[in-house]
Amino acid sequence: MVGARIKVKRGSALFATGDRFKSLYVVRTGFLKTETTLEDGRRWVRGFQMAGEMLGLDAIANEAHTCDAIAMEDSDVCVMPYDLLESTSRRVVALQRHLHRAMSREILREGSLMQQTGMPAQERLAAFLLNLSERLHARGFSRSELVLRMSREEIGSAVGLKLETVSRMFSKFAADGIVTIQQRHVNILDMAALREIANAKLRSCTH
């Protein structure tokens, strides 16, 4: 189903808001972010996409993209023409199931990021780090040693926190011995404590 493979240079757009929908994209290597410009001019980061993850689902309904997809590092992306994907999936049941599972995973991933915006600050950051840890681990990377491709400001935009709050929460986690931080390198020392923080709201809702 891959019609082409394209390279997207760091800082360049794979697609932009308003672009006509033609294809779905899967990240082969690299790291991208999807973001939208709000009415007041601020940029809202909707999500981060890494190897194996899909982009472009936002455009299926209205046949136009509703966000910008920007490469955060030089990336290699597979292009899957949607017309071909759709017509083939009607004939090949296994492909249709695979496509539906892939779409479901992306919807759940974006939904989990949105849910974090309803949590207290430290729970949002803990949930973000755990989510990133699990996604990287699923791709063969360390679960505890993370290299953040995104800035503190971009993390804040994604989880609905100010830059100062993100920095303060990182400092608190470090002071509590949960993580060590060296620039964009984060080493999770106490995974259990991080999970305890992330699940605090869930526990409070069940008691």
Spatial contact of 32 and 8, defined as CB atoms under 8 Å apart? yes
110 has pLDDT over 70: no
Q: What is the pTM of this model?
A: 0.83
Pairing mode, strands 185-188 and 31-37: unpaired
Closest residue by Cα to residue 185 from 139, 138, 136 = 136
| CATH code of the domain occupying 117-205 | 1.10.10.10
Spatial contact of 66 and 58, defined as CB atoms under 8 Å apart? yes
Per-residue pLDDT of 12-42, as tens digits, reads 999 999 999 999 999 999 999 999 998 888 8
Cβ neighbours around 88 below 10 Å, total: 13
Mean pLDDT of 111-133: 79
Identify which has the larger pLDDT, 1 or 55.
55
Report pLDDT for 39.
87
111 has pLDDT over 70: no
pLDDT band at 207; cut points 50, 70, 90: very low
Question: What fold does the segment set 4-115 form as a domain?
Answer: Jelly Rolls (2.60.120)
Q: How far apart are CA 203 and CA 205, in angstroms?
A: 5
Got the DSSP string for the chain?
Answer: ---EEEEE-TT-EEE-TTPBP-EEEEEEESEEEEEEE-TTS-EEEEEEEETT-EE-GGGTTTTB-SSEEEESS-EEEEEEEHHHHHHHHHH-HHHHHHHHHHHHHHHHHHHHHHHHTTS-HHHHHHHHHHHHHHHHHTTTS-SSEEE--S-HHHHHHHHT--HHHHHHHHHHHHHTTSEEEETTEEEES-HHHHHHHHTHHHHHHT-
Q: How far apart are CA 131 and CA 169, in angstroms?
A: 17
Report pLDDT for 205.
39
Per-residue pLDDT of 124-154, as tens digits, reads 999 999 999 999 999 899 999 999 999 999 9
Identify which has the larger pLDDT, 179 or 103.
179
Report pLDDT for 31.
96
Average pLDDT of the chain is 88
pLDDT band at 60; cut points 50, 70, 90: confident
Per-residue pLDDT of 84-93, as tens digits, reads 888 887 788 7
Delimit the domains of the chain by residue range.
4-115, 117-205
